A = this chain, B = another copy of it.
Amino acid sequence: MSRKPGRPTTHLDDVSKAIIEQLQQDGRRSYAAIGKVVGLSEAAVRQRVQRLTESGVIQVVAVTDPLQLGFARQAMVGIKATGPLEPLADTLAEMPEVDYVVITAGSYDLLVEAVCESDEHLLELLSTRIRTIPGVVATETFMYLELRKQTYSWGVR
């Protein structure tokens, strides 16, 4: 779940980028179908996808739409804290409503995205589970009014 620093940078050629674009449109597209588009044999596509996956450059996964599942209240919570940040980040990461935790430089030490069913649910999370963590000094909540863009593939194109 946590991303380690110091990973080597992988260079992608145009063919790999094209393959990733195909998988970005449909993660279950067959290797043969991708091969036809990018001009490679099925086996070659398969090997490249395997290498890209094993090296951690890509991941083919299911993503869900919170709204469709009845999670109507999303918010970004900025947190100011004292003491070491990593254990705090890990505590937050363990909460099922929390889907995003990042340690930041700026007026917050941590940014946390939470997905909740209702205002009451969000309030409960914030008041009784986040703000009570030792080391949490202050929080500021940004309620989501509308999510306008969400992309899962960066650096391709």
Q: Which residues of A contact B (CB under 8 A)?
A: 1-3, 5, 7-12, 20, 23-28, 55-71, 74-76, 78, 86, 89-90, 92-93, 96, 98-108, 111, 115, 140-157
Contact = CB atoms under 8 A, between A and B. Distances in A.
A71 B11 CA distance: 11
A58 B67 contact: no
B99 A142 contact: no
A11 B71 CA distance: 11
Contacts of A5: 67, 146
Contact of A99 (B10, B74, B108, B150): B150
Contacts of A157: 96
Given A28-B27, A28-B28, A115-B154, A148 B102 contact: yes
